[in-house]
Chains A and B, each alone.
Chain A
Amino acid sequence: MIELESYLLLSAITFVIGVIGVLTRRNAIIVFMSIELMLNSVNLTLVAFSAFLGDPTGQMLVFFVMTVAAAEAAVGLAIIIALFRNKQTLNIDEINILKW
């Protein structure tokens, strides 16, 4: 029998890996994927709590997180395509138009 702690630890580890990805990579698409990684680790926590507490709310929340992630991927990738058209790069260090 696996305890709840194991799931929480695993999810913490994948979350931190995602954070490191966001902070260190410069390819916009890989940064985006690291965000998906973080979302998924949170989903794991939610499902684990839901199963251990016997409360379906956690799994509902995961369902909504997935919908939001789908919407986010569509819009985010559209932004990436638009960026690439304008600047011919996906390096987020070069996409610094906000600090002209």
Chain B
Amino acid sequence: MNLIEPLVKVVLILAVMLTLVILLVYSERRISAFIQNRIGPNRVGPKGILQAVADVVKLLMKEDIVPKNANKPIHDLAPMISIGVAMSTFAVIPIGGTMVLLGQSVRLMLADVNIGILYILALTSMGVYGITLAGWSSNSKYSLLGGLRSSAQLISYELSMGLSIVGVLLIAGTLQLDGIVQAQSAYIGGWLPAWNVFLQPVAFVTFVVSAFAETNRLPFDLPEAEPELVGGYHTEYSGLKFGLFMLSEYVNLVVASAIIVTLFLGGYSVPFAEYMNLSAQTVSLIQVLTFCVKTAGVILFFVVIRWTLPRFRYDQLMDLGWKVMLPIALANLVVTGFILAAFS
């Protein structure tokens, strides 16, 4: 068994992801400042670009406070679950096709599992535990309420998320993420790339809305609604463990964007690249770049939405999830099934 290749990939993916997160934190603060007509961080490093690093150092130096009567082992375990789940999702996402490196061809994904989508669904359903246990183990009203709210929210939106993925599956006919990307590199009518956003527009919308809810971002950040719940499930966390929760939130955002890109926006595939007579090496490089640019675009969309929309009320959130998103996703699934059956 060749152990070096996967190890290198793991290190690379972690490095890329953490750099992305640091950039994301910085850009989010700058963009929010721009939207709210402020200046934003501009003291640490040129243009404040090292602000995120300073934040990390601050969190590392802070004292780790565990509340009295808290359940210490679970209090420690909760952030680990959150961050572990968030990071391991990235293992099945293809960042590029095959690349020739040092004389051997390398698949640009960590694990090409043939049930990749089920793996992602399984991990997202695990993410609930981190938040719920954090809320429970803190032994505080605000944390408990935040944790309960968030688990209800995550469970509700997981359904419409799963159902919108099924539409994509029906079209691609495979559970392998790489296969789904391959299926999207064709063309509809010879000119429109067969991205699932064009084939499954309804599923795309429901998936993106559910992704907002799953990543606990505004307008769905009920679990940590500051004015009502102080800080939600991580009220009683400080220092490194609080930092882990923040980190997992941003990693979740990156992962959700990467999944949206892979499932709906053609993944790493570059439309019309095959007409340009490029060498295989260039194509694979362009593919990786395309993936990064697409993901960055989706992340930007998430950030702008966060700072421009107000928060839902809790009952509105539940109504939206169960009475709007779920029926729409189901109807979309039925229609897709009928159309596919009619054309096959």
Contact present between A and B (CB < 8 A): no
- Which A residues contact B (CB, under 8 angstroms)? none
- Which B residues contact A (CB, under 8 angstroms)? none
